[in-house]
């Protein structure tokens, strides 16, 4: 395990993880722009930070090295030329084009200390922070009454580090995010991998590029074993993206099968890991509503077609049977979110009761508020470490969403 990236399971002891502590970007949320920025409510930042710090401490207390996006990004951008290109890429991906304000924004960001520049890009730049007029006078577009408050949009979803990229094997999927509000996030990962001394020069395989045509997000990417990756076909991950990454993983990644699992395309069921996570060698959490009344769903096993050189796709419909097949198990236990009760399961799934983070086989981190699901996992022999997420959950994400594992031990 010499690589700085090594993930060949969902449950191996978590050795290194990437987090982002919520910052001022959360305080730039307002009711008028919640939907565009993919939030349903506004977290109270001070409390959210305390909750996040407690989450990070749980990981550290259990032997996990915790890295932070802002610190790694600042260290990766020390070279002035790299920093200049990063700012340019951020502005280009912020729909700036060649607007008059773009040069002012570029100069404004470049004048800062690197860590301050990183934090400012994350927080967004408000119009009242910059004078882009002529010797103090307003520009015409300002005088026309445009009330949108930002020149550079905030990035409040950054604390969900799971989605912009995913470590798979010894390589990385740098993801094309589905919604424009999140597409800039993967630029931080791209520059960290390419320019941070911890990763630069290691020749990390890139399984998927953020510049690809089709969207895919880390919440839909689960490494079930050294042979098998599960990927959700969801609101945010397309079937075309799965076929594209499957070609790379099956050819160069050392994996023998990709399991594509279709889930309802809705805000509540945003990613596969909001309805399905692996918690032990033979145990999974699941939200029962992803299956039909007969317990069926659309599942596809993708393997290499050695005759044609392309993909062979086999259809399945039973989740338990498919998991037994691809993992070589005689029995798989699905632990229903909320105990399967229609009210409790819907409530706790909305509050990320199925979004568990395994930090070792049979040891999971969950939100304490999902007491029905937590009690059931405990009953199934799991060690459940509860953290408070009263404010963090307002962004619609749990412990798995808030963590990007970089290194796990083999199981």
Q: What is the DSSP letter of 13?
A: P
What pLDDT score was predicted for residue 99?
66
CA 222 to chain centroid? 11
Euclidean distance between CA atoms 47 and 392, whole angstroms:
8
Instruction: State the catalytic residue, choosing from 123, 401, 402, 404.
Output: 401
Answer whether 0.85 is exceeded by the pTM: yes
Euclidean distance between CA atoms 88 and 106, whole angstroms:
7
- pLDDT (tens digit per residue) in 81-91: 999 999 999 99
Q: For residue 358, how many other CB atoms are within 10 A of its CB?
A: 26
Q: What is the DSSP letter of 35?
A: T
Nearest to 387 by CA among 396, 404, 400: 400
Phi, psi of 336 (to 5 degrees): -75, 130
The segments of the chain whose pLDDT lies below 50 read 134-137
What pLDDT score was predicted for residue 137?
45
Q: What sections of 252-333 are H helices per DSSP?
A: 319-327
Active site (annotated) includes residue 324? no
- pLDDT (tens digit per residue) in 273-300: 999 999 999 999 998 888 887 889 999 9
What pLDDT score was predicted for residue 135?
45
Contact, 285 vs 377, CB < 8 A? yes
For residue 377, give the 3-state DSSP assignment.
helix
């Amino acid at each position: 395990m010499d690589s700085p990236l090594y993930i060949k399971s969902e449950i191996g002891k978590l050795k290194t993880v990437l987090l982002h502590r919520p910052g001022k970007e959360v305080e730039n949320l307002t009711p008028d722009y919640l939907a565009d920025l993919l939030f349903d409510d506004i977290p109270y930042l001070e409390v959210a930070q305390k909750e996040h710090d407690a989450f990070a401490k749980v990981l550290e207390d259990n032997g996990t090295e915790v890295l932070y996006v802002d610190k790694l990004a600042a260290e990766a951008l020390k070279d002035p030329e790299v920093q200049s290109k990063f700012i340019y890429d951020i502005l280009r991906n912020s729909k700036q084009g060649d607007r008059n304000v773009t040069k002012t924004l570029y100069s404004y960001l470049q004048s800062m200390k690197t860590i301050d520049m990183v934090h400012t890009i994350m927080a967004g730049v408000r119009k009242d922070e910059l004078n882009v007029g002529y010797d103090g006078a307003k520009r015409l577009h300002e005088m026309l009454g445009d009330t949108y408050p930002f020149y550079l949009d905030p990035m409040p979803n950054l604390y969900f580090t799971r989605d912009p990229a995913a470590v798979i094997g010894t390589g990385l999927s740098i993801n094309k995010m589905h919604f424009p509000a999140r597409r800039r996030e993967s630029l931080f990962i791209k520059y960290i991998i390419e320019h941070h001394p911890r990763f630069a020069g290691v020749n990390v395989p890139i399984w998927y590029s953020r510049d690809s045509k089709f969207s895919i997000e880390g919440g839909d990417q689960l490494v079930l074993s050294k042979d098998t990756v599960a990927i959700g076909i969801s609101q945010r991950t397309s079937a075309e993206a799965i076929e594209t990454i499957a070609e790379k993983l099956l050819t160069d990644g050392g994996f023998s099968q990709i399991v594509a699992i279709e889930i309802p395309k809705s805000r509540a069921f945003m990613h596969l890991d909001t309805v399905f996570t692996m918690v032990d060698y033979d145990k999974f959490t699941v939200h029962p509503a992803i299956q039909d009344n007969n317990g069926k769903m659309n599942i596809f096993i993708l393997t290499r077609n050695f005759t044609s050189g392309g993909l062979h796709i086999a259809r399945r419909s039973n989740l338990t049977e498919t998991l037994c097949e691809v993992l070589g198990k005689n029995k798989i236990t699905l632990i229903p979110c909320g105990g399967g009760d229609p009210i409790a399961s819907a409530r706790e799934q909305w509050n990320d009761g199925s979004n568990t983070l395994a930090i070792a086989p049979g040891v999971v981190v969950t939100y304490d508020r999902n007491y029905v699901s937590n009690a059931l996992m405990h009953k199934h022999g799991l060690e459940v470490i509860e953290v408070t997420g009263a404010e963090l959950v307002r962004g619609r994400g749990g412990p798995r969403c808030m963590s990007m594992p970089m290194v796990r031990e083999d199981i």
